[in-house]
Structure 1
């Protein structure tokens, strides 16, 4: 007669004794009987999964969503658990469920892409801030206090504090705090400077313009920078408008040829 293997003691006071059920699951072939037993085991361990989900309630996600993620982790743990290895189910299920919840936060909750290291710094800073808030009243803990409590450098604390504000993004159409006229973030954003496209051209012609005779430089400046007409330039220099036109055309051709020659 085979010896009945006694169930191992569970560290959870209200943990169900499902050792025999897991042994049966391992021996049953796929089918309705196995599916029914699997559902019963999952249901028995759901309270533990919900307790694990409750540890993450203060991180900005709804408890109902956390329960669903934890339940998914529990199902994975039930399907992958091997009772033949001799370990209690919860020793495998707890890290599996916790890992599933953390993966949910990493993959679905961050609006901005934040490196894993910075996410870890954020969590350490958040926990340290919560701990210190119980001893420091009337103000927020300082960077130095958080660094000492969490055994972190002040630079890492600052990175974690910045990440606390990066968990979600503000809509560009959202009204800014304190705004009374519907002023949104999009109203504060600038636009691309159209002159940026001419920067390269201006830098290319600058040496050639500087090499022109003084009178030609003055004519080009008055025409293209001071926006003066050819007639007014001619009047100011005491020459004919036709002469001004020829000088402008000749200078532009010379500068263009020199720039093209150097860029070839």
Structure 2
């Protein structure tokens, strides 16, 4: 009965006074529970920021709540700063650590995640039994699953701890300082330019001299239809008509090439 009265008194007291009392008596479980209850809102607010990140809110909230308790136990009111200022980075840090250590970077089916855990345990056991790294078919036999399932789970495990592109390639070649990024292929833009140039050269072989003059003037030398008409000695209307005709030909030939 006396404890209930104490707890009721704690509920009515200022938070700073509660922390002062708790600083002198860390074994006071009732006071500790009151402090947790009064600051649980911090865990809720910070947990909500990580909703829709691939983890259930309840799991994140549990991590945040444990971090809150840890912060309450470590908080030193004599240093003069507010508890929320101390607890927030502690809670956020624990949540981020949870994501870093426990959460898959890529979304992987739960079936694969669970099988991957079994494979990890099986590897430890089989390595001790075989005195070497077990092969996929041996892991499959031990777990009574197909070798294909084992290979799928092992491949998916890269979604748990992705390899940085800055990681050294670790091979026996002379280029030992090369990273994985150095070995990733890059699209060569000049290839498309070569293909386009080759296409245009073949296309222009099917044009007559007048059509070639118009094409070169309009699209390679940026001349106006009026200027081309004067140079060739024909009307601008004729240049316009021929240009449209050439473009239609170009469209048809390009559609065939693609």
TM-score (norm 2): 0.42
Higher relative contact order (CA 8 A, sep 6+): 1
TM-score (norm 1): 0.41
